[in-house]
């Protein structure tokens, strides 16, 4: 019988060569199974120990175990080598990262809502509440309570849709001033976004329905400068950090003093002379504003000698046109997926 030591030595050498030759983890595992597996060569040798005289058996067992330890170490070493090589190789992989990302099932918010949400969010951060109200309103809320009595020429300027003698589609969100102040004592700080209607023929600049964002702050010590401050912040929220705001005198029956509010043209930064958005003036008209008329405060039971307030009303479509550089207001009601996706 060949000496066990010689046998093991030869086995180890063959094993070492096989391990060395194994090119991947699978081949390496095959080697492991062939030598160290349940029916591997080492098992065959172990079984042969039984034929030895009993006094030699423990020594032989130890020899085999030592050999197995060496072989397992080789296996481990080769495994580490192969793993390192695979990691190395994987670092060489290159994919086309410009390939189209898998689109998620995600919708979009309408640009008009986004403008309204951003504006309302700004005011909410400053302690204002956001209130909503009906679109069909009595003339009392639309006009009388806002210092526009019957026969006042300003009524005509609103060119409203009427349902009957006293009900109309609100031409502005200002009724919410009255509704809110009649429900709450001062201080009142609200914004009221919502749909309004005027009898404008539809063209690139007009729809007969539009959204307005109304703002109202009434408390003691409120002045015109606060209006300028808040609206400057609003314009910076909507259009960019460097926006300026300009007030021009104007007239509204429900405010005195009254102002038209302009902001620097965000497209040309107030510089270009051939700007398509501002027509070269450098300014964009946003809407009306002013200090709440004492008659309006009195109508809701406030004392104009004790509290003062301001209000403004901007068109949301107008804000969205400017913010997103949209050329035609009719696109807002077209339901065109391309429009939604571009502005999403």
Residue 280 makes contact with another protein by CB under 8 A: no
Q: Which does 265 bind (CB under 5 to 8 A by kind): Zn ion, another protein, none?
A: Zn ion
Q: Which does 275 bind (CB under 5 to 8 A by kind): another protein, Zn ion, none?
A: Zn ion
First to last CA, the chain: 85
Q: Which does 12 bind (CB under 5 to 8 A by kind): another protein, Zn ion, none?
A: none
Residue 291 makes contact with another protein by CB under 8 A: yes
Question: Segment contacting another protein (CB under 8 A): 7-15, 40-48, 84-92, 244-252?
Answer: 244-252
Nearer to another protein, 29 or 118 (CB): 118
DSSP state of 300: T
Give the helix/strand (H/E) hosting 295. helix 294-299
Residue 187: asked if its preceding bond is cis (omega within 30°), the reply is: yes
Q: To the nearest whole angstrom, how small is the minimum distance from the Cβ of residue 178 to another protein? A: 14
Task: Select from 14, 79, 184, 323 the one that contacts another protein (CB under 8 A).
Answer: 184
Binding to another protein (CB under 8 A) within 60-119 occurs at: 105-110, 112-113, 117
Residue 139 makes contact with another protein by CB under 8 A: no
Give the helix/strand (H/E) hosting 213. strand 209-219
Residue 135 makes contact with another protein by CB under 8 A: yes
CA separation for the pair 77, 316 (Å, rounded): 70
Token pair listed for 292: 């709440």
Nearest-CA neighbor of 213 among 259, 247, 172, 243? 172
> Crossing angle, helix 316-324 and helix 224-239, to 10 degrees?
40
| CB neighbourhood size of 118 (10 A) | 14
Binding to another protein (CB under 8 A) within 10-29 occurs at: none
Residue 323 makes contact with another protein by CB under 8 A: no
Residue 179 makes contact with another protein by CB under 8 A: no
Binding mask 148-177 for another protein (x = CB under 8 A): ---xxxx-xx---xxxx--x-x--------
With beta carbons less than 8 A apart as the criterion, state whether 170 and 142 touch: yes
Question: Segment contacting another protein (CB under 8 A): 22-30, 38-46, 133-141, 270-278?
Answer: 133-141
What is the contact surface with Zn ion in residues (CB under 5 A)? 265, 267-268, 275, 277-278
CA separation for the pair 201, 208 (Å, rounded): 7
Q: To the nearest whole angstrom, how small is the minimum distance from the Cβ of residue 205 to another protein? A: 15
Task: Select from 258, 270, 300, 311 the one that contacts another protein (CB under 8 A).
Answer: 258
Antiparallel, parallel or unpaired: β 188-197 and 209-219: antiparallel
Binding to another protein (CB under 8 A) within 204-223 occurs at: 208-209, 217, 219, 222-223
CA separation for the pair 321, 316 (Å, rounded): 8
Residues that contact another protein, how many (by CB under 8 A) = 80
Q: Which does 199 bind (CB under 5 to 8 A by kind): Zn ion, another protein, none?
A: another protein
Q: Which residues contact 136 (CB under 8 A, 6 or more apart)?
A: 163, 167, 168, 169, 170
Residue 240 makes contact with another protein by CB under 8 A: no
Reported for 82-91, long-range contacts at CB under 8 A and 24+ positions apart, including other chains, are 82/22, 82/24, 82/25, 82/28, 83/25, 86/25
Residue 126 makes contact with another protein by CB under 8 A: yes
Q: Which does 268 bind (CB under 5 to 8 A by kind): another protein, Zn ion, none?
A: Zn ion
């Amino acid at each position: 019988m060949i000496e066990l030591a010689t046998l093991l030595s030869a086995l180890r050498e063959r094993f070492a060569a096989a391990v060395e030759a194994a090119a991947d983890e699978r081949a390496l595992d095959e080697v492991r199974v062939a030598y160290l597996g349940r029916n591997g060569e080492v098992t065959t040798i172990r079984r042969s120990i039984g034929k030895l005289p009993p006094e030699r058996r423990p020594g032989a067992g130890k020899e085999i175990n030592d050999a197995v330890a060496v072989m397992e170490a080789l296996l481990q070493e080769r495994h580490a080598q192969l793993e390192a090589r695979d990691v190395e190789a994987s670092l060489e992989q290159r994919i086309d990262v410009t390939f189209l990302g898998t689109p998620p099932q995600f919708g979009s918010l309408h640009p008009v809502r986004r403008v309204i949400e951003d504006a309302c969010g700004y005011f909410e951060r400053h302690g204002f509440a956001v209130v909503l109200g009906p679109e069909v309103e009595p003339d009392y809320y639309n006009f009388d309570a806002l210092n526009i009595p019957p026969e006042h020429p300003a009524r005509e300027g609103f060119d409203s849709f009427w349902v009957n003698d006293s009900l109309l589609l609100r031409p502005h969100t200002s009724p919410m001033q009255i509704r809110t102040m009649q429900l709450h004592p001062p201080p009142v700080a609200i914004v009221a976004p919502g749909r309004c209607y005027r009898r404008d023929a539809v063209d690139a600049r007009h729809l007969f329905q539009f959204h307005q964002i109304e703002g109202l702050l009434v408390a003691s010590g409120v002045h015109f400068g606060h209006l300028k401050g808040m609206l400057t912040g609003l314009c910076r929220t909507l259009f960019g950090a460097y926006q300026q705001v300009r007030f021009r005198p104007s007239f509204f029956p429900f405010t005195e003093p009254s102002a038209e509010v302009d902001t620097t043209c965000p497209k040309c930064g107030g510089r270009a002379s051939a700007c398509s958005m501002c027509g070269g003036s450098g300014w964009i008209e946003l809407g009306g504003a002013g200090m709440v008329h004492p008659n309006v405060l009195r109508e809701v039971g406030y004392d104009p000698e004790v509290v003062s307030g301001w209000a403004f009303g901007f068109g949301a479509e107008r804000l969205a046109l400017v913010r997103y550089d949209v050329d035609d207001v009719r696109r807002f009601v077209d339901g065109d997926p391309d429009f939604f996706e571009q502005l999403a």
